Chain A
Amino acid sequence: MYINFFINISYLIGSLAFVWGLRLLSSPDSARKGNLIAAAGMGVAILASMLDPAYKIGPNNYGWIISGIATGGLIGGVWSRRVQMTSMPQMVSILNGFGGACAVVLGGIELVHMYEGVRPYGSTEILILVFAILIGGIAFTGSFWAWFKLEGWINDTVLVIPKVHHIFNLSLLVAILALGGVLYLQGATSATWVAIVMIGLSLYYGISFVAPIGGADMPVVISLLNSFSGLSAATAGMIYNNQFMLVGGILVGASGTILTLLMCNAMNRSLLNVLVGGFGGSSAVAAGGVKGDQSIREVSLNDAAIMMYYSNSVMIVPGYGLAVAQAQKTCKEVDDILSKNGVEVSYAIHPVAGRMPGHMNVLLAEADVPYPKLLDLDDANNALPNADVVIIVGANDVVNPAAETDPGSPIYGMPVLQVWKGKQVIVMKRSMRSGYAGIENPLFFYPNSRMLFGDAKETLANLASELKQLG
């Protein structure tokens, strides 16, 4: 009796720790504590699940559990120490995939148990298994596909069936649900192939679901898959009748859903529009290039340095190019030299800059940029008209004026940073190639824009040494 009480109290404490931890995550000052509290809650719950007498049927098999925990903990620990901050989106998608995969293997083995008649299964329980496999499968293979896209190993056309892809996906989903229906109705008497095909199709559906979504939309996809991996954990909790798993999973599901909607709002598009894809695909090409013989103007490093050094305020707009070049620390160096000379330096962060929500904030935090210097979209747009020099480091689509001026543009209507309102704009770019979404950017041809070609890190380092000579 006492042991049951302790187990239940532990689960309760664990659940509260999750809620409290997430609550503390809402402020930079308390966030670290919040994360530790959530981790502690997880630890308490893992211990409770190992001691819970309700599940003691056989010999407990602690050896298997502990070696699994040690293996996963060790790999996870080493990996999290070594991963580059620029690769955070990849890491989060892989971890998402693991969570989903775990739900799939659990659902799968319980189906095996159902066929073997190890335990009696009611039809509601079978339905739960089907959902755990479906949602977990999407989170598992979808996350891995998203990871391949983030790494640039595959593009947005791989495995996409032209024109009928969405009908294909829909029929895939219908087929999975139909097979699930057979399992629901016939239970252990259904043919084994029904379960096998259902699992196989669920896994393929995850890939097929992510395949047509544009690479530029990966922040949305990762948030969405995050919510799926939470929901799969929650359904797995229903399999084992464990409320703690349910609470944890639902909290993750809610957080993923909110972030997904925030990302969609930031791009002024509906979730459906993102999922259907096309952004960065064929429709972008139709937008066409810039007409006429407009020309760009380049600026020399020396001139750029002088412009920045003798200004009152500089606004830095970082994008994924900064992350790719690992230039966050060099960027901070430039910031330091300018600040020392009394130039007011701030950063304009677009909500979808980078490859996951808040990615730029993390990179700049890594380089020791104080977070009050980071302005969000609205604050940045208020401050931009007063900025003497706006310097764009590897961002493109989020500063594209076509979003406001060209109704034919695929990104028309997306809120962007109005960098062109700054007095001088310096665009740091590797080449004239268009951004991730494949859309031409008229900003480069504006009269107050100057181009500074080169790798972001190298250019910033050269800029820093030019600035030092001025000082």
Chain B
Amino acid sequence: METAIQFFNENILFIYLLIFTIILGFEVISKVPTVLHTPLMSGANAISGVVILGAILLIRQSQADDYLSLSVGFIGVVLGMLNAMGGFMVTDRMLEMFKKKKK
């Protein structure tokens, strides 16, 4: 119990951030109409490519001869970048098709 209270006290700002982001996410996204659900999903999917930052930080923290960490980091960067780049570009392609209809 005591460790839990201590954790709460020490990380209170972090807990605020967590809760407000969750609320913000729900608020922003619940307004998206059905028409745009697929682009929303692939766009959100692209955002989950933020995990690439972890891989970048891993590589930067590694020693130049720590080939295990570097290779794993490299794989991480490739996977994260694939997720982000593929996601954003395919979303753009889809939304371009929606946009044309304005004329």
Contact = CB atoms under 8 A, between A and B. Distances in A.
A254 B68 CA distance: 34
A56 B61 CA distance: 6
A57 B61 CA distance: 5
B12 interface: no
A365 B94 contact: yes
Given A252-B48, A358-B35, A95 B17 contact: no
B59 A80 contact: no
A234 B25 CA distance: 13
Interface string A2-31: 000000000000000011011101111101
A366 interface: yes
Contacts of A61: 59-60, 62, 64, 70, 73
A77 B91 CA distance: 12
A365 B54 contact: no
B45 to A, nearest CB: 5
Interface of B, secondary structure class, is helix
Contacts of A357: 34, 37-38, 41
A368 interface: yes
A73 B84 CA distance: 8
B1 interface: no
A72 B42 contact: no
Nearest to A254: B25
A95 B83 contact: yes
A236 B58 CA distance: 11
Contact of A250 (B21, B59, B100): B21
A35 to B, nearest CB: 5
A330 interface: no
Nearest to A112: B68
Contacts of A80: 85-87, 89-90, 93
Interface string B1-39: 000000100000000011001101110111111111111
B86 A77 contact: yes
A400 interface: no
Which of B39, B58, B72, B86 counts the most chain A CB atoms within 10 A? B86
A117 B95 CA distance: 48
Interface residues of A, number: 110
Nearest to A140: B79
A111 B66 CA distance: 15
Contacts of B58: 106, 109-110, 240
Nearest to B73: A64
Which of A46, A73, A88, A95 counts the most chain B CB atoms within 10 A? A95
Nearest to A349: B34
Contacts of B43: 21-22, 25, 34-35, 38
Contacts of B62: 58, 61
A259 B82 contact: no
B69 A362 contact: no
B78 to A, nearest CB: 4
Contacts of A56: 60
Nearest to A32: B95
B36 A230 contact: no
Nearest to B60: A55
Contacts of B95: 28, 31-32, 35
A250 to B, nearest CB: 4
Nearest first, the 7 A-B pairs at minimum CB distance are: A72-B81, A254-B25, A68-B77, A358-B37, A76-B85, A76-B86, A248-B50
Interface of A: 18-19, 21-23, 25-29, 31-32, 34-36, 38-39, 42, 45-46, 49-50, 52, 55-61, 64-65, 67-69, 71-73, 75-77, 79-81, 83, 85, 88, 91-92, 95-96, 98-99, 101-103, 105-106, 108-110, 112-113, 124, 222-223, 226, 229-230, 232-233, 236-237, 239-240, 242-259, 262, 349, 351, 356-359, 361-362, 365-366, 368-371, 374, 376
Interface of B: 7, 17-18, 21-22, 24-26, 28-64, 68-70, 72-102
15 contacts: A26-B32, A35-B39, A42-B46, A46-B53, A50-B60, A58-B62, A68-B78, A69-B52, A80-B87, A96-B45, A102-B75, A113-B69, A226-B44, A233-B54, A362-B94
